[in-house]
Amino acid sequence: MLSVRHYIYDILVEQGVPDITAQYLNMLGLLIGLLIVAFIIDYITKRILWKFSATVASKTKTNFDNILINNKLPRNVAHIIPLIILIEFVPDVFSDFAYFENIVEKTLKIIAILLTLRIIRSFFNSIKDYLKTLPRYKDKPIDSYIQVFMIFAWMLGIFAAFSILTGVTFIKFAISLGTASAVILLIFKDTILGFVASIQVSINDMVRIGDWITFEKYGADGDVIEINLATVKVQNWDKTITTIPTYALISDSFKNWRGMMNSGGRRIKRSVIIKASTIKFLSDEDIERFKNIELISNYLEQRSKEIKKFNTEKGVDKSILINGRNLTNFGIFRKYLQTYMDNHSAINKDMTLMVRQLEPTPQGIPMEIYAFSSDIRWENYEYIIGDVFDHVLASVKYFDLEIYELAI
């Protein structure tokens, strides 16, 4: 081996080249030769691993091996053999230059650490991509866990690199960092909070990818598109992206609409304000006129008979309309809306459905429709509400009622 180390040197010295110059040229020649050999081996290894991986991937049913190839894991692994060769033969190349040998050797070892981290990252990214193809894990914050693993891997890699540069053993270097733990905790505060939050979010199933959430503090209102260690990305309905700190999901209050999405109904809760001055008792003539409205004709027929029977049995003086039991146009209108909603094809009949009178206001009496649409898609939901209240607003006048309008 000694003759190989100084083969070029011996030739140059015999040709009368100065000793120092011969040493440098000898080192340069060996270095170029070693790099050429390493490059050729790297190319051959890369081709062999790629063909082997492609062959295996084509014969297996799972797509995990395809994902490994897409994340360049075989290519990164192929760099290991050339790197080992470089580290092994560096002492021979720089045998006459101990200072350079030390620098190059440490550099190659640090490159080896970076290559290892790159391989680990490719592997973890492959796991992440594979899990996201499975329905069971599609809505889970896989990114958060992968980032945690990579943080630990990078920390170990950085410790190892500093150990190589300083000459201190890895264990002693790690122990010495114990005194700086407070600083480390301060630096990684957000990371630690995000990690804890990611675990709690996942265990408690608070948020999934694809959930619609509303977070007023951060101006977020839309679908969750990404959950990672530090942030949660929400695509708002106007297509803007809002970024929320992950730990805010457990420290602040937000609204998750998943329950509504899974229920099969989206709530309608809207009212119209009726002018109190238009509410009145109904005379027999009014009742006969309202019987022409098909949805409540049977109800009016039955109800008016019951009321007349009661008033007759009690001997009520009906010369004054307020005496005894009576129907009102407001109550009849409420019954009409209830029947209308019961017969509406776009309303979910298995969920709460009611038309109710709310507490009087200075403007009038609110009549509220509380129901759930059977279609939860936003565009269709708004169409259903529009369809319902178009009818409500147009039907008010048929009951001798008026809707409050602010006079300006």
Report CA-CA distances (Å) from 355 to 272, 344, 351: 11, 13, 13
Q: What is the pLDDT of residue 183?
A: 62
CA dihedral 340, 342, 348, 353 (to 10 degrees): 90
Burial class (CB in 10 A: 0-12, 13-18, 19+), 232: buried
328 close to 279: Cβ distance less than 8 angstroms? yes
* pLDDT, tens only, 174-208: 666 555 555 666 666 666 777 777 777 766 778 88
Strands 212-215, 365-373: pairing is unpaired
What stretches in the chain show pLDDT beneath 50?
Answer: 1-2
Q: What is the pLDDT of residue 360?
A: 93
Q: What is the pLDDT of residue 6?
A: 63
Query: Which residues have CB under 8 Å from 226's CB, separation 6+?
Result: 143, 209, 232, 233
Q: What is the pLDDT of residue 1?
A: 44
* pLDDT, tens only, 92-150: 777 777 777 788 888 888 888 888 888 888 888 888 888 878 777 766 667 767 777 78
Two tokens, residue 100: 């350079």
